[in-house]
Structure 1
Amino acid sequence: MKIEFEEQKDEIIYRVYDFDPKYEEIFQMCFYEKDDRGYTKKYPKHAKYLDRMKERYQENAPLMFDQLGYFAEVPWQLGLKKFCEMLQNSTVNWWLTGSCAACIRGVELNPHDIDIMIDSESVDEITEIFKDYLIEPIISTEGWLTKDFGVIFMDVRIDIASDPAPILDEPEPVDCGPYALKNLEIVDWNGFQIKVPPLKLQFNVNQKRGRFERAKKIKAFMEAKKK
């Protein structure tokens, strides 16, 4: 796998090429665009700390893609612990969703990344706190499912998204939408108080997406808790 960066008018292009075909689905999952030379993502040149991000991306992207494909160990506990520690004295309003949110309750799943939701007002603060760990700037999605999106790599990929759009909850609520945001629960994990969506939402999402083994584990956990 090779990585290079290109300049185009007001943009910086991240390019991944000469890769094993097994990574193709991973690039697509991460919304990279395909052209005749590989896969790309574009970012504005003015993004703060972009030079640092390019260096860190160059160093860590191969491992990140290996983790996303389960070709390498995913130390999500280590990454989440560091994330919590670095935000302890901040004013960032954040919550955890995705598989890790179920895992910290005790559900045995295998996350390949960490999914964090924040308020858009916290973008500047979280950018400063994680300036040495960002690999993709937290910038406007210009109308996607969240207002902003960016990526940290800190032993594991950490996706940062802000202000989930109402359309996420159509036709029914998901574990990262406005309904989840209004109904967050608190889980004590390794001494940290972490906000997470209701487990029922996570069951519904996995069931709907055909992730039946995950849904089965979540359902079994919920039923055991009732006893």
Structure 2
Amino acid sequence: MVSNKASWQSALKVFLDIIYGPLENNNYKWAIMGSIASVLQGCEIEPKDIDILVEDPKTVHFISSFFTKYYGESKATTPFDENGVWVATKEQPVFEGEGPFTFKWTYTKFNINGLFIEVTHKIPRENHPEKDTNLWESGQNVWPYVKIIAFENYQIPVIPLELQLVTNMEREFDIRVKQTINIFRKYGFDETLLLRTLNEPQKKNFDKLIS
């Protein structure tokens, strides 16, 4: 069960109270992904942060500019430094550069009520094998499949569970996989979309889990 429900709900509401209107008024595409998206779609897991995907790297800068009071003191030079935690600062509100697996990142991270908010835009470099074919949770082909979920007084876009499942399988998040399967059994799922995301071994594993 979700043990820090009040914490994530409070942090998400603060985030939305500040930025929802500006995002909508400027027609910027964004969506919640990761554990919060799973919880909002019925999974009973414990969110550890709030992950936001955006369509345009400029939107990362736009969002970050509204949250300067939540900037911190960074202990790392990049978000991928294992020796410390990178957070937005006045000197570096947004990280731009290459990250793992030859992705180009535009990224910011700040803390609201004890929960990190991470806003991400990433695209494969030209030599990435999935540059033109990828359909995955944080990829830029997700936008036609985004779902709208009610939260407080907001209608917020979220990445559907069908696109999250492959991520959770690959990262061996067994509890999330189990929770997702339970939701699929109870409410159904978009089989066409799901099958586009899974490779053959994952499809076989899914068939076993759903049966």
The alpha-carbon deviation at position 204 of structure 1 amounts to 1.9
- Aligned equivalents of 1:123 and 1:207: distance in 2? 28
Could you say what secondary structure the match of 1:175 adopts? coil
- Aligned equivalents of 1:178 and 1:168: distance in 2? 15
Could you say what secondary structure the match of 2:37 adopts? helix
Residue equivalent to 1:158:
117
Tell me the percent identity.
Answer: 24
- Aligned equivalents of 2:129 and 2:144: distance in 1? 14
| Equivalent pair of 2:43/2:176 in contact (CA under 8 Å) | no
CA 1:134/1:162 → structure 2, altered by over 3 Å: closer, same or farther?
farther
CA 1:191/1:168 → structure 2, altered by over 3 Å: closer, same or farther?
farther
- Aligned equivalents of 2:143 and 2:30: distance in 1? 10
Could you say what secondary structure the match of 1:177 adopts? coil
| Equivalent pair of 2:33/2:137 in contact (CA under 8 Å) | yes
Instruction: State the aligned residue count.
Output: 156
- Aligned equivalents of 2:9 and 2:142: distance in 1? 23
Give the aligned residue type for 1:165: P
Residue equivalent to 2:160:
198
Residue equivalent to 1:105:
41
Q: Deviations over 1:57-100 (max 9, x none)?
A: xxxxxxxxxxxxxxx95722211111111113203532111011
Match of 1:147 among 85, 93, 105: 105
The alpha-carbon deviation at position 172 of structure 1 amounts to 5.5
Do structure 1's residue 94 and structure 2's residue 30 form an aligned pair? yes
- Aligned equivalents of 2:163 and 2:13: distance in 1? 24
- Aligned equivalents of 1:168 and 1:200: distance in 2? 22
CA 1:96/1:146 → structure 2, altered by over 3 Å: closer, same or farther?
farther
Alignment of 1:23-38 (within 5 A): none
Alignment of 1:44-123 (within 5 A): 75-90=7-22, 91=26, 92-118=28-54, 119-123=56-60
The alpha-carbon deviation at position 189 of structure 1 amounts to 1.6
| Equivalent pair of 1:147/1:164 in contact (CA under 8 Å) | yes
- Aligned equivalents of 1:154 and 1:73: distance in 2? 14
Segments of structure 2 that go 5 or more residues without pairing to the other structure are 73-87, 190-211
Q: Which has the higher relative contact order, 1 or 2, with Cα contacts under 8 A spaced 6 or more apart?
A: 2
User: Normalising to structure 2: TM-score of the pair?
Assistant: 0.64
Could you say what secondary structure the match of 1:121 adopts? helix
Could you say what secondary structure the match of 1:215 adopts? helix
- Aligned equivalents of 2:104 and 2:44: distance in 1? 28
Segments of structure 1 that go 5 or more residues without pairing to the other structure are 1-71
Give the aligned residue type for 1:123: V
User: Normalising to structure 1: TM-score of the pair?
Assistant: 0.60
Give the aligned residue type for 2:21: N
- Aligned equivalents of 2:53 and 2:130: distance in 1? 15
